[in-house]
Structure 1
Amino acid sequence: MTDLFAARAQMAMSLAFHILFAVVGMAMPLLMVIAERLHQRRGDAVYRELAERWSKGTAIMFAVGAVSGTVLSFELGLLWPHFMAFAGPIIGMPFSLEGFAFFLEAIFLGIFLYGRDRVPPLAHLLAGVMVLASGTASAVFVLCANAWMNTPTGYTLGAGGEVVDVDPFAAMWNPASLSEVLHMTSAAFAAVGFAVAGIHAAMLLRGGRRELHRPALRIALTVGAVFALLQPITGDLAAKHVAEHQPIKLAAMEAHFDSERGAPFRIFGWPDEQAEETRYAIEVPYVLSFLAHGDPHAEVKGLKEFPREQRPPVAVVHVAFQIMVGCGLVMIAVASLGAAFAARRRALPDWYLRLLVVSAPLGVIAIEAGWTVTEVGRQPWVIQGVLRTADAVTPMPHLVVPFAAFTALYVVLGVTVLVLLRRVVFAAEVPAHVPVGMSSETSREVAR
């Protein structure tokens, strides 16, 4: 394993691990705020219990996310010093603002967790809203910094190659910011909604407390379905942006080697980068041209237009893109079924609950695949057209050692999270109003 590969693998692993906690920090507060609002409005103790359970889960994920996020910040400096030397003065502002939003999230999460019955109900609810706002803002600032790596703006280069005339606002709100922020935030809310809905569907299938898990499922599925149905809109915006600003990434996403008008959209297929062709694909004529440019007869540039040394790993990008789209389409179908049941005011049948359980991880898989497309599709550049990844890595040798050490750290953290969630959030399935000492059989009767 080369040092460059070890550095890239460590960064990829860290991002893939941290993003799980980042999406929970963005979207989970919405569920607990909805539950808290319903409790205050209806006075139903079940919604209070839901808000408390979900806030405890959010706190666990927030704590571990803080650890993995801190590791990432150190890795940027230790593994990629040349990147930070160049980009630091330009994108330092969104990273600073992300830290400010992080502290706000921690403060208001503490108020929401420990302020119940100690602060007025409205203040308690507003604390939850602030957790939602600051958690989302934190992610938005990081997304803006990442978007800058795809479309670097807000600076000029001096005669000696140094960065001058930095405009931090132009850098933060670069051409890729809007599409990346919209697509990622909607993906986060959809993924968390489906994941939580799947968990509560599993609890119902196992005979859990219906008075708790049915409203929980209703809230989570509504959030997941709404944002899943919005994904095609944000995805279309992102695709058109990529077609305009990163045509080589679009070509890799679609394994599109030859420039042509009326370019087809490829379903499946395996790209042969040596022969420069894609085998076994199902081609839908004109669709790629329409999706990329809004014109079914528009020309789409192929990979052959670019030197081989500037192309990303086509197979990785294409397969990841197919996984992302496939997961998204399944989520849309499941969401549409749920909407149909809701419109007819019909109870969710067991087969649909099983479908929700199977669909629970699809949003997270789609997010991981989407980030693979974003990052691998930009290679060999760490800053598109400006700085190559190979030139940004540290000269320090033996990078396989920290890669192995941090892999072990993430395994330990992952196991810890699962244990804590099981003990704290998914505690005994006994209704809050069942007296201590009541038998399990009697408690199930009460639950029914």
Structure 2
Amino acid sequence: MDDFLAARSQMALSLGFHIIYACIGMVMPFFMAVSHYKWLRTNDEVYKNITKAWSKGVAIFFATGAVSGTMLSFELGLLWPKFMEHAGPIFGMPFSLEGTAFFIEAIALGFFLYGWNKLNKWFHWFTGVVVGVSGLASGILVVAANAWMNSPAGFDFVDGKYLNIDPIAAMFNKAWFTQALHMCLAAFTATGFAVAGVHALMILRKQNPDFHYKAFKIAAVFATVCAVLQPISGDLSAKDVAQRQPAKLAAMEALYTTQKPAPLLVGGIVDEKNKKVTHAIEIPGALSFLAHGNFKAEVKGLDQIPADEQPPVAITHYAFQIMVGIGTLLMLISLGYFILLLRKKSILDRKWLLKLFVLAIPLGYIALEAGWVVTEVGRQPWIIYGIMKTRDAVTPMPGIAWSFYLFSAIYASLNVIVIFLLYRQIKMVPVLYNQHKFSSSVKAN
């Protein structure tokens, strides 16, 4: 493995792990805040136990997210020094603000975890809300920095120099809103379905049904609402990419030739050698509408992109198909859930729907990872789109392959530890439930 491939692999591995930890860490506090609020309003001890159980999960993912995020910040300087040399002064502001949001989140989480029976009950609840808001802000700020790499702004590039730097314009670049919206909805969808799926599994196993059903309803509402909104966000993102990064859109759809109108491909096998796609279902004019809002609009293909500026087509296309396919499936599950709610049917009597939520536990995160592959691989060969190529930014330091192997071992170990801690936390739920039943019987007597 050469150093360039090792550097890219290490960054991909780090991002792949961190994105899951970060998304759970920024979404779960909102679930926790809702259950906490329900306890304060109803005095139902089940909601208090749900809040305490979820808060321990939040603590686990905050710690792992902090570790993996810190490693990523060091990797930017270690692996891509040329990139940081030029880009740091331009888009350093969102990273600095992200650090501030992280500190606020850490302080608020400390208050929340250790504030039970010590703080005013509504102030205690408010600290939990601050954990969620600051975590969400942190995620948006990081996405803004990534969006800048896709849509450079806030500077003039003259004779190889970066002049007239405007950090505000860099942070609020043309891509930040669509990317942040799409990412936030994806995080809530993925985490919501994962959490709801775990509780659905416990319901099917008839373990503490009252506890798990109330927890399921909170997570399912977040998941299903965001899953239905996600296609709208996807449409905004597609139109934005079509304007700014036509090469990425062409790779997403494996569009080798410019077409007017252009069909949307569903599935298909990419033949990069012969520059064609086989075994795909074509929807006439749909790509033209998706990209430009007009079924007869022209969509630029890879034939109009210089060969040395074309992204890898097969990887981008397959990742895009996985993301869209899973997103569509989760949306259909959500619509089924809404129909049952409108008909006032009990979810507990619909085992088929609970089983669908169980099957969906990993799907949201698979779609999340696929989406980041589309974003990052689809930008190649650029690290700063249209300005600096990834190969020109890599460190000249030799031996990066060994760093990749070391970080792979670290992340694998971290993942095992997280799974063990979560498994132990789930096993502790019956203890909380039994404590609740005991305290309730004591009060009754």
Q: Report the TM-score range of the alignment, normalised by the length of the smaller protein.
A: over 0.9
Residues in 2 aligned to 1:423 and 1:29: alpha-carbon distance in whole angstroms = 20
Give, in angstroms, the shift of residue 340 of structure 1: 1.0
CA deviations over 1:24-65 (Å, ceiling 9, x no partner) = 122111100100110001110000111111111011001011
Q: Secondary structure at the match of 2:154?
A: coil
Residues in 2 aligned to 1:386 and 1:376: alpha-carbon distance in whole angstroms = 16
Q: Secondary structure at the match of 2:412?
A: helix
Question: Residue type matched to 1:398 in 2?
Answer: G
Is residue 57–residue 425 contact of structure 1 (8 Å, CA) maintained in 2?
no
CA deviations over 1:54-109 (Å, ceiling 9, x no partner) = 11101100101100001100000000000000100001110000000001111111
Match of 2:218 in 1: 219
CA deviations over 1:252-310 (Å, ceiling 9, x no partner) = 00001111112100001122222111111110001000010000000000111112211
Is residue 155–residue 165 contact of structure 2 (8 Å, CA) maintained in 1?
yes
Residues in 2 aligned to 1:434 and 1:153: alpha-carbon distance in whole angstroms = 59
Give, in angstroms, the shift of residue 355 of structure 1: 1.1
Match of 1:121 in 2: 121
Give, in angstroms, the shift of residue 426 of structure 1: 3.6
Is residue 195–residue 360 contact of structure 1 (8 Å, CA) maintained in 2?
yes
Q: Secondary structure at the match of 1:385?
A: coil
Match of 1:445 in 2: none
- Residue 422 (1) aligns with residue 426 (2): no
Match of 1:326 in 2: 325
Give, in angstroms, the shift of residue 374 of structure 1: 0.2
Is residue 53–residue 429 contact of structure 2 (8 Å, CA) maintained in 1?
no
Question: Residue type matched to 1:85 in 2?
Answer: E
CA deviations over 1:108-140 (Å, ceiling 9, x no partner) = 111111112111111011111111110000001
Query: Which residues in structure 2 correspond to 1:90-129 (within 5 Å)?
Result: 90-129=90-129
Is residue 28–residue 54 contact of structure 2 (8 Å, CA) maintained in 1?
yes
Residues in 1 aligned to 2:186 and 2:164: alpha-carbon distance in whole angstroms = 35
Residues in 2 aligned to 1:94 and 1:187: alpha-carbon distance in whole angstroms = 21
Residues in 2 aligned to 1:433 and 1:177: alpha-carbon distance in whole angstroms = 46
Residues in 2 aligned to 1:433 and 1:366: alpha-carbon distance in whole angstroms = 37
Question: Residue type matched to 1:380 in 2?
Answer: P
CA deviations over 1:323-342 (Å, ceiling 9, x no partner) = 00001001001111111111
Q: Spell out structure 1 runs of 4+ moving beyond 4 A.
A: none
Match of 1:441 in 2: none
Match of 1:82 in 2: 82
CA deviations over 1:321-374 (Å, ceiling 9, x no partner) = 000000100100111111111111112211211111001111111110000000
Match of 1:236 in 2: 235
Match of 2:360 in 1: 359
Give, in angstroms, the shift of residue 428 of structure 1: 4.8
Question: Residue type matched to 2:18 in 1?
Answer: H
Match of 1:347 in 2: 346
TM-score where L is the length of structure 1: 0.95
- Residue 63 (1) aligns with residue 63 (2): yes
CA deviations over 1:369-417 (Å, ceiling 9, x no partner) = 0000000000000110101010000011121101000000001100111
Question: Residue type matched to 1:92 in 2?
Answer: G
Long gaps (5+) in structure 1: 437-448
Match of 2:155 in 1: 155
- Residue 201 (1) aligns with residue 204 (2): no
Match of 2:173 in 1: 174
- Residue 249 (1) aligns with residue 248 (2): yes
Residues in 1 aligned to 2:310 and 2:99: alpha-carbon distance in whole angstroms = 35
Question: Residue type matched to 2:386 in 1?
Answer: G
Q: Secondary structure at the match of 2:28?
A: helix
Residues in 1 aligned to 2:370 and 2:267: alpha-carbon distance in whole angstroms = 15
The 10-residue stretch of structure 1 (300-309 or 172-181) with the greater mean CA deviation from structure 2: 300-309
Q: Secondary structure at the match of 2:31?
A: helix
Q: Which of 424, 436, 441 pairs up with 1:433?
A: 436
Q: Secondary structure at the match of 1:300?
A: coil
Is residue 45–residue 436 contact of structure 2 (8 Å, CA) maintained in 1?
no
Residues in 2 aligned to 1:142 and 1:212: alpha-carbon distance in whole angstroms = 35
Residues in 1 aligned to 2:184 and 2:174: alpha-carbon distance in whole angstroms = 17
Residues in 2 aligned to 1:314 and 1:71: alpha-carbon distance in whole angstroms = 30
Query: Which residues in structure 2 correspond to 1:404-415 (within 5 Å)?
Result: 404-415=405-416
Question: Residue type matched to 2:325 in 1?
Answer: G
Is residue 56–residue 425 contact of structure 1 (8 Å, CA) maintained in 2?
no
Give, in angstroms, the shift of residue 425 of structure 1: 4.4
The 10-residue stretch of structure 1 (287-296 or 161-170) with the greater mean CA deviation from structure 2: 161-170
Residues in 2 aligned to 1:60 and 1:49: alpha-carbon distance in whole angstroms = 17
Determine what percentage of the aligned residue pairs are the same residue. Answer: 51
Give, in angstroms, the shift of residue 433 of structure 1: 2.9
Q: Secondary structure at the match of 1:261?
A: coil
Question: Residue type matched to 2:384 in 1?
Answer: I
Residues in 1 aligned to 2:103 and 2:427: alpha-carbon distance in whole angstroms = 28
Q: Compute the RMSD of aligned alpha carbons.
A: 1.1
TM-score where L is the length of structure 2: 0.96
Match of 1:185 in 2: 184
CA deviations over 1:215-266 (Å, ceiling 9, x no partner) = 1111111110000000011111100000000001000000011111121000
Aligned residues: 435
Q: Secondary structure at the match of 2:430?
A: coil
Residues in 1 aligned to 2:244 and 2:163: alpha-carbon distance in whole angstroms = 23
Question: Alpha carbons of 1:137 and 1:428: their partners in 2 closer, same or farther (altered >3 Å)?
Answer: closer
Is residue 312–residue 378 contact of structure 2 (8 Å, CA) maintained in 1?
yes
Residues in 1 aligned to 2:302 and 2:164: alpha-carbon distance in whole angstroms = 34
Match of 1:20 in 2: 20
- Residue 295 (1) aligns with residue 294 (2): yes
Question: Residue type matched to 1:141 in 2?
Answer: L
Long gaps (5+) in structure 2: 440-445
Is residue 109–residue 127 contact of structure 2 (8 Å, CA) maintained in 1?
yes
Is residue 323–residue 369 contact of structure 1 (8 Å, CA) maintained in 2?
yes
Q: Secondary structure at the match of 2:274?
A: coil
Residues in 2 aligned to 1:257 and 1:156: alpha-carbon distance in whole angstroms = 32
Q: Secondary structure at the match of 1:429?
A: helix
